[in-house]
Amino acid sequence: MVTYPAMLDIPRPVVDHLARLLAAHRRRIGTPRRSRALGPFRQAVLVLRWFRQRACVHCLAADARISQATGYRYLHEAIDVLAERAPDLHTVLDRCHRQGMSHIVLDGTLIGCDRATGVRENGNDLWYSGKARRCGGNLQFLASPSGDLLWVSEVEPGSTPDITAARAHALPALYKAAADGLPTLADLGYQGAGIGIHTPTSIHPDRPEPLCADNRSHDRLLRGLRAVGERAAATLKQRWRALQHITLSPSRIGTIAQAALVLNNTWNETR
């Protein structure tokens, strides 16, 4: 065996914050002292290595000298502890109102995953996205005008269109927010979403002539405002690389993304 020094490139306050949450969780469920193979801090390091480095769980378990089953149990426990603190959609929208935001950005992202079981009514794979040509889960997210990620939805199978997922998780609350003066900007995938959801102008297939100058200006302005917010999900997946491809159950993708959002907010607060 060969040992080598390593460094986890995560701010120490983020690790300490997760360790405190795990310690509080252990007290809440009545875990006896020193009955775990790892303390809260070492468990936090294991979990953050998985999120940040996209490391395989059996390697993390071997490094920590615990069994693979215990490694998975510690990982899922921490994911649930973090996801419980993910911001609620209505709370996020109320905060946006208080901060006087001019708009918010709605978009969807596909989180890749291993092939999952499930068949649609037409016989196609439920978790296969024809648009991305790979298996994954559809997540809806909201971002601020400055590009900060605000909220992440529960997961829908990859075959679910963005507008269908948005109707299930976001649109009812966004309608009320738009009525109160907080519009939502979205891309062409959300056309027909309803009042208050602003999307680009599409060219009708029966009338392929170019758009007029007013519509082109509208689309250019909308695209420029929306592009900043749409970077939010990409930034989250680059910082927490486990989101680039999930090897756990696809049904956990939403919970994992919400846990990553909590970690991301804690990281941003340390700057």
CA angle 26, 263, 16 (to 5 degrees): 50
Q: Are 18 and 82 in contact (CB under 8 A)?
A: yes
pTM of the entire predicted model? 0.91
pLDDT in tens, 132-169: 888 999 999 999 999 999 999 999 999 999 999 999 99
Tens digits of residue pLDDT in 121-130: 666 778 888 8
Please state, rounded to an integer, the average pLDDT across all residues of the chain: 90
Residue 6 is predicted with a pLDDT of 80
pLDDT at 147: 92
Tell me, what's the pLDDT at 210? 67
Per-residue pLDDT at 32 exceeds 60: yes
Q: What is the pLDDT of residue 223?
A: 87
- The total of other beta-carbon atoms located within 10 Å of residue 244's CB is 11
Task: Kindly tell me if the per-residue pLDDT of 206 is higher than 70.
Answer: no
Q: What is the pLDDT of residue 205?
A: 54
**Residue 219: predicted pLDDT:** 79
Give the pLDDT of residue 131.
84
Closest CA to 137 of 117, 163, 110: 110
**Whole-Å CA distances, 223 to 188, 200, 216, 239:** 11, 8, 10, 25
Residue 123 per-residue DSSP state: S
Give Cα separations from 109 to 132, 141, 152, 186 (angstroms).
Answer: 10, 8, 10, 13
Token pair of 41 as six digits: 């801090």
Closest Cα to residue 40, out of 14, 71, 74, 5?
74
Measured CA to CA, the distance from residue 229 to residue 144 in angstroms comes to 6
Asked whether 108 and 166 are in contact (CB, 8 A), the reply is yes
Share of the chain above pLDDT 90, in %: 71
Q: Can you spell out the DSSP letters for 135-170?
A: EEEEEEEEE-TTS-EEEE---EETTS-HHHHHHHHT
pLDDT score of 271: 74
Q: What are 224-254's pLDDT values in tens digits?
A: 888 888 899 999 999 999 999 999 999 999 9
What is the distance of C-alpha 53 from the center of its chain?
Answer: 17
Q: Look at residue 176 in the predicted model and tell me its pLDDT.
A: 94
Q: Is pLDDT of 261 > 90? A: yes
Q: Residues 195, 155: contact at Cβ < 8 Å?
A: no
